[in-house]
Amino acid sequence: MWARDKISKGEMDQIVDPSLRGKISLDSLKVFVSVVERCLDDKPKKRPAIAHVVINLEFALELQEKAKSSAKTEIVEVLLPQVNAIPLLPNEITNVANATPLPPSDKTQQEKTKSLSPNEITSVADALPYRSRNMLLVIGKQLTRVSLKVQSGTSTLREQINSKMINAGKKDGRKTTVHKLLRLRPWEALRNKAKPSKKKDVVTFSKSAPILRRTGNMTLSGITISTKMMVGNSQLISNTKLRSFHFSELKTATRNFSNDTIMGEGGFGTVYKGWLKEESIGKQESESVVAVKKLNCESMQGFEEWQSEVNFLGRFSHPNLVKLLGYCWEDKELLLVFEFMQKGSLENHLFGRGPVRQPLTWDIRLKILIGAARGLAFLHASDLKVIHRDFKGENILLDGSYHAKISDFGIAKMGPTAGNSHVTTRVMGTYGYAAPEYVATGHLYVKSDVYGFGVVLVEMLTGLRVLDTKRPAGQHNLVDWVKPYLPEMDRLKKVMDSCLEGRYPNRCALQAAQLALNCLEYEPRNRPSMQEIVETLERIDSAVENGRQPRVCFS
């Protein structure tokens, strides 16, 4: 309580070990304290996953290491002599163009500033944390303008900057010369970089990342989104049509985001049930039910998840992927509008409590598994080889007929390019469902999703959560505990979901268990593809209908 009180009062220095005072970068300390605050949140659902804690601590370490490079810091001070002289507020960031930098008092520094080449400027930006390279570079009295594009007509420099912040990275996509002023919060810089134009209906957003850079143009009133995704030197441009909602519309639809309309909460946002009024051809109003996801506007991860959902779900259409109807981006507000799924998530049906919960029959479980498998198979077979990265029961939604649709593409990733077996990225996802090779090495394979599917399959067979510390010792991790029971029917019966009351075909259950074992193979190459899984489940389903034993075979 003492530490939380000091943090809330802004007295962070009071909680730091005296032996560390003066040795910690202020930026690094702020990130560290932010992690502490979120971990100590009174509401468990608001606390971050351990994977997110790791990522933020790595970021804090990165900031600390950058601060140690005094030589590069001196260059930044020469290039940005006015940074500490301008008390910028969040709504004043876009006025940087009008601020005239004070010239360096030292003539040597002046000459050094003028003589810097573009490559040297780039190296200065490279010295900054990659999340912070997203504002304008002030050199003397000149404002460096790189690749500033105007849709049409003429406008002043200030108007151009207010309408869009430019990405001027190197062609290889690894670094960028554009960075934010160090005193700004990451979200504020990103929001101003990607702020909609008041003059045009076009907004450009871009960000730098180690693996992937995305830039795009959105027509906020004209429904069309044009998204450019860059990986190395390759580009992919996708056009999709999504509706642009006004914040006031969604505020009304969710009854001012009332607690009564909350359907679910997560670390980076809340999902509300909403009722949208629409006019039909006969001029009569009708209401359609939707799900409105309101992302945490103070979180960098919230923006990234919003952007990822638009990039992927705005591009794909498949019966087993949840449909994204539109988006809202006004000031700090980031929202997504999805089709409403009447039966909620698979997780609620498997593990929910209370009289509302209805146990799933064997036939319905098989139907859900086939639908979810088809959705993943579609993603893996696409040109992008999309890897979901967080496949679990919570992200499998069910409509009124128990048709399964995969949701939550906030951390989805494009798969490996030709000639590569995997992509290397920071570990994200949910512990228990994440594949062991990904957790251990950061190497993400298309078949990393297959492991997650195997975990969900085991949960469907047993009706138990993958992780539960309330179970007896040795049974906390479902996969480790249940694996020995899966190959033989006599043992499998001991762990089958009691809610099924024995109403399942023994041979089909055994075949499903054997499929789960194949999905949970330690080596990714030994796991079946999602298409093979679809075909196997369909054979099992067909065998149930025809009353004969299915076969399991993989190429």
Phi and psi of 396, rounded to 5°? -110, 110
Three-class SS of 402-415: CCEEECCCCCCECC
* Number of Cβ within a 10 Å radius of residue 289: 13
Closest CA to 204 of 166, 171, 170, 176: 166
Q: Side chain identity at 172, as an amino acid letter?
A: D
Residue 347's H or E segment, with its range, is helix 346-351
Beta-strand runs (E) in 213-339: 213-219, 224-231, 234-241, 243-244, 262-266, 269-279, 285-295, 324-330, 333-339
Q: Which of 5, 126, 383, 390 is catalytic?
A: 390
**Stretch (H or E) spanning 206:** strand 202-207
> How many CA atoms, within 13 angstroms, populate the side-chain half-sphere of residue 292?
31
328 C-beta neighbours (distance < 10 Å), count: 22
Region of 296 please: left (phi>0), alpha (psi -120 to 50) or beta.
beta
Which tokens belong to 76? 């930044």
Query: Residue 176 — φ and ψ, nearest 5°?
Result: -145, 150
Q: Residue 353 to residues 23, 348, 356, 357, 461: CA-CA distances in angstroms?
A: 50, 8, 8, 6, 18
Q: Distance of CA 416 to CAs 216, 232, 333, 385, Å? A: 22, 12, 33, 7
Q: How many residues does the chain have?
A: 555
Q: Please check whether residue 454 is in contact with residue 514, taking contact to mean a CB–CB distance below 8 angstroms.
A: no
Tell me, yes or no, if 106 is annotated catalytic: no
Of the candidates 252, 270, 240, 256, the one whose C-alpha atom is nearest the C-alpha of residue 334 is 270
Residue from 407, 445, 452 nearest 425 by CA = 445
Residues in CB range of 420: below 8 A, 6 or more apart: none
Q: What residues act catalytically?
A: 390
